[in-house]
Structure 1
């Protein structure tokens, strides 16, 4: 087909209409795109065993890493030993009426019976994890203290019996009293069933006593035969040992870029463009008069929300984002990776023109928008891959304002809210609206500010869907049965 296209047009290699100014491509081209297959990650099998005292950020790191890898389409699941303990205790209470005591004394090394029960829970949780990996999972996170050499040897020896599965230990260390205090406060106020019938003061006393019980027997990782990473104060220092292979290195690099400093991330599409008004996709159009009005009003909106705080503005290389940012009094960086999804031969066309010229492919895109790739262009899946460096840099930075494009911001927004790929292409990111995300331990707070400047609605609803994707904004820790989480 491409050969016929070249022959018809004298062997000329087609430039993007962003460069050439071409509008509708020749209608003799039939079949403009296809679906992109999900990468084959079937050989990636990792047990990621957490290590660390309570209130040192283990669950935070687990949650962040799960969100990142799922965004990249790995199958990831957290198996939390504490949640398994609570689930079984609840079942026991309902069946026999016996209420187990999980106060600090339960976690004492001198409590032999409780020690045996906790070891059994850790082993059972590991067995569930391994079985899940065998059924198609890629990274199973064993979320527990795993605080002794004996426990880590048990995990290492058990995983060694499984062909094709490797174990990495991830130790979360923290010596910052303020961070530890904040983690303790979050634990006792987050709805943890262990403290359901206690006052906050009682819960805090008991949890601090639990930590002291663990401290008496805690052994930091020094075993030279293990593959491990040590993270100090959530990213201020990272130590790696025996890390090999692509996925292991990817995990390590991500963890090296994390921090927990207070910050906000602002998303805004460019102001309304001339192409938006004309109903065309792609291109490199200037702002419309209403888009220019938005660009002039944006600095005051940002100032009202961050005051004199420092901020860096990121834009794409396309002029509509650069024009939108031109009045902002902040450092500006231009990223090619933030350019809009490339529509290939459909660049500069309206959806009506695409449907008339390429009805079959138009239908295919509506059927599977995340995987559909324009001929000579991109799919949403391609965009996610090229945005990975942006995610890495976002995790390193403090306050950032990204002035971008609809598809780009959808992909980034899905990362921060852990949304599935099927919903990603239909997230509503309206024009002339600033979205403020404030990362928290277990999610992101969100606020939206819409300026009273009219703009066209470029959102295309999900075809044949009863409702649009639901975005449930929650920063609370979820206490779930690990077998169904």
Structure 2
């Protein structure tokens, strides 16, 4: 598949064989510690990594030392750039105490088995600070000891740094509502200089005993050292597939199908007349959208999705049809209505309502299976620039849950209505989600969670005189 990313350089180093009992154990808690100067995308990496690990079923929580610092002192009085000067001993003491509190909370989180992975989001720019963190994870009375992996984000590309600074001065809680953008930029640049004066990068010789990856210039190249265990391998796999460049991802279901009209599950029916109208209007939307760069279209191989995507073939750089984007397999229930399903298989129907995420259709799939099936799609979405995904309700729920950081209980009930475009724009501290509902008739296929009020997603769309109406939300990562 073609990829709109720079050529990536990768260097791997064989694990050493020092005496570390945690290397011999399989199921041990993992700490992922960020390293790097400000404006190098550490918190962006932390948010995305936390979201990814939770999405694939590895319970993860991020501990951001900056949040502890903001609680400890009033930034308007204490937190300007001088607060990060290593010669400011009072501030150093406060920052060290905030790091200690974050570490202790992280330790309790892992020791109490609330999760499997903790992400320690801080600059960790000195060898002394990193040793403190390693010693905390390897405490003699801790059994099992925590396995620690450092992720260093290194960047000397002025364009990337300036882009990150621009994003931070707009989005960071340190600056929003406290000073002008120009003041924020000047202050943040001085903060970076304070960190530079004491920064010690990870080194394969000086830090030979550590496990780490160095992500260089937003993923143009990598250096991987001493990877140990499944979690660290997954982290490396993920980091090698993300980039920090601006782009948007568009999600849409196929137009209304003939099976939609009669309420049947799955199948491979063609579009209805309403669905064909939507396919044409979708094309017109993208003609006006003027997507920067090349637009890629990924469609499922089902007839209804392919018909929808085919209306746009000449607008895209590439159109690809992926079986992995096909709707969830309903097994023996394919082609049934919900009423048929409940009448023929009442026990199965009740089990699905009890735990929809884990429920597997007989001879079919569960949402849990679907998440595993879609992981390669998520990896490709993280690598690509602007992409339109034309797929199905269950599939798009899984993709939307990833970008919107929804948990397993929420995922199967996300509302993805027909004849709607969902535009996702990843940001440093959030993901902006816009929904464009077209004024084209379609059946409502949404089925609410049992014992909860029905929300068909149509109540807030009041601009019926427009071709489509728009809702925008900012969805923040943890």
User: After TM superposition, is the score higher than 0.5?
Assistant: yes
User: Does structure 2 conserve the Cα–Cα contact (< 8 Å) formed by 1:258 and 1:396?
Assistant: yes
Structure 2 residue aligned with 1:152: 130
TM-score by length of 1: 0.83
User: Does structure 2 conserve the Cα–Cα contact (< 8 Å) formed by 1:44 and 1:139?
Assistant: no
Structure 1 residue aligned with 2:53: 69
Alignment of 1:165-176 (within 5 A): 165-176=146-157
Question: In the superposition, relative to structure 1, how do residues 449 and 83 fare at CA in structure 2: closer, same or farther (>3 Å)?
Answer: closer
Bigger mean CA deviation after superposition, 252-261 or 301-310: 301-310
2:347 and 2:281 map into 1 onto residues whose CA distance is 42
Alpha-carbon shift at residue 192 of structure 1 (Å): 2.5
1:119 and 1:301 map into 2 onto residues whose CA distance is 52
User: Does structure 1 conserve the Cα–Cα contact (< 8 Å) formed by 2:168 and 2:428?
Assistant: no
Correspondence for 1:127 among 104, 125, 130: 104
Bigger mean CA deviation after superposition, 236-245 or 465-474: 465-474
Structure 2 residue aligned with 1:25: none
Bigger mean CA deviation after superposition, 126-135 or 387-396: 126-135
TM-score by length of 2: 0.84
Question: In the superposition, relative to structure 1, how do residues 332 and 272 fare at CA in structure 2: closer, same or farther (>3 Å)?
Answer: same
Residues 1:52 and 2:32 are matched in the alignment: no
Structure 2 residue aligned with 1:190: 171
Bigger mean CA deviation after superposition, 403-412 or 272-281: 272-281
Bigger mean CA deviation after superposition, 58-67 or 118-127: 118-127
Aligned length: 430
Correspondence for 1:118 among 95, 117, 139: 95
Residues 1:336 and 2:323 are matched in the alignment: yes
User: Does structure 2 conserve the Cα–Cα contact (< 8 Å) formed by 1:102 and 1:194?
Assistant: no
Structure 1 residue aligned with 2:474: 474
After superposition, give the CA deviation of every residue in 1:227-281 in whole Å (9 maximum; x if it has no partner).
Answer: 0011122222221100122221111111111112221111111111121112110
Correspondence for 2:295 among 311, 322, 346: 311
Structure 1 residue aligned with 2:17: none
Q: What RMSD over aligned residues (CA atoms) do the two structures have, in Å?
A: 2.3
Structure 2 residue aligned with 1:346: 333
After superposition, give the CA deviation of every residue in 1:88-121 in whole Å (9 maximum; x if it has no partner).
Answer: 226xx9xxxxx96233222222233433332232
2:117 and 2:306 map into 1 onto residues whose CA distance is 40
Alpha-carbon shift at residue 352 of structure 1 (Å): 0.6
Bigger-Rg structure (1/2) = 1
Bigger mean CA deviation after superposition, 285-294 or 257-266: 285-294
Stretches of structure 2 that go unaligned for 5 or more consecutive residues are 1-25, 458-470
Structure 1 residue aligned with 2:6: none
User: Does structure 2 conserve the Cα–Cα contact (< 8 Å) formed by 1:62 and 1:143?
Assistant: yes
User: Does structure 1 conserve the Cα–Cα contact (< 8 Å) formed by 2:171 and 2:429?
Assistant: no
Bigger mean CA deviation after superposition, 199-208 or 409-418: 199-208
1:398 and 1:278 map into 2 onto residues whose CA distance is 37
Correspondence for 1:379 among 366, 389, 392: 366
User: Does structure 2 conserve the Cα–Cα contact (< 8 Å) formed by 1:344 and 1:375?
Assistant: yes
User: Does structure 1 conserve the Cα–Cα contact (< 8 Å) formed by 2:404 and 2:475?
Assistant: no
2:170 and 2:235 map into 1 onto residues whose CA distance is 30
After superposition, give the CA deviation of every residue in 1:132-164 in whole Å (9 maximum; x if it has no partner).
Answer: 111121111111111011111111122122324
After superposition, give the CA deviation of every residue in 1:390-419 in whole Å (9 maximum; x if it has no partner).
Answer: 100100011111110110001101111111
2:77 and 2:277 map into 1 onto residues whose CA distance is 64
Structure 2 residue aligned with 1:17: none
Question: In the superposition, relative to structure 1, how do residues 417 and 475 fare at CA in structure 2: closer, same or farther (>3 Å)?
Answer: closer
Structure 2 residue aligned with 1:460: 447
